Amino acid sequence: MKSLAVSSNWRAPRQKTIPSSDQECIKLGRGSDDYYRCYIRYFVNTCYHPAGTCKMGNFATDPKAVVDNELKVRGIKSLRVIDASIMPNTVSANINAATLMIGEKGADLIKETYAKSTV
């Protein structure tokens, strides 16, 4: 983190680290790893773009995967999750466009399933 803060790329557009006003973190030594761990716990937030809490993945190799690549929930029949929560990694931009595409893909998957069913 310290190296990032002094890098030329970081400094170019007049970026600067915001000093923590939290005394708990400062006590751990400003700039130390423990300081940044504490800082992240206090100050990281979703900026109203929560994603990835129900990640898509390969059940055979990823114990943290909740849905498969058809957005079906592990171990539950007839349940899909089709929203921003399935992102395995967040996109490096606003998530709405990607979320809309997840919705489109999910709708297609459901239509395919019903087209195949005999009901």
Ligand X SMILES: Cc1cc2nc3c(=O)[nH]c(=O)nc-3n(C[C@H](O)[C@H](O)[C@H](O)COP(=O)(O)OP(=O)(O)OC[C@H]3O[C@@H](n4cnc5c(N)ncnc54)[C@H](O)[C@@H]3O)c2cc1C
Please identify, using beta-carbon distances, which residue of 45 and 118 lies nearer to ligand X: 45
- Number of C-alpha atoms within 13 angstroms, CB side, residue 61? 2
Rounded Cα distance between 103 and 40, Å, is 31
Shortest distance, position 71 Cβ to ligand X, whole Å? 12
Give the distance, in angstroms, between the CA of residue 25 and the centroid of all CA atoms in the same chain.
25
- The one among 69, 94, 101, 107 contacting ligand X by CB under 6 A: 94
Residue 22 near ligand X by CB under 6 A: no
Question: Which of 30, 49, 55, 80 is the catalytic position?
Answer: 49
Give the separation between CA 107 and CA 101, rounded to whole angstroms.
10
Q: Which residue from 20, 22, 26, 49 is in contact with ligand X, where contact means CB under 6 A? A: 49
Q: Is residue 49 annotated as part of the catalytic site, yes or no?
A: yes
- Known catalytic residues are 49
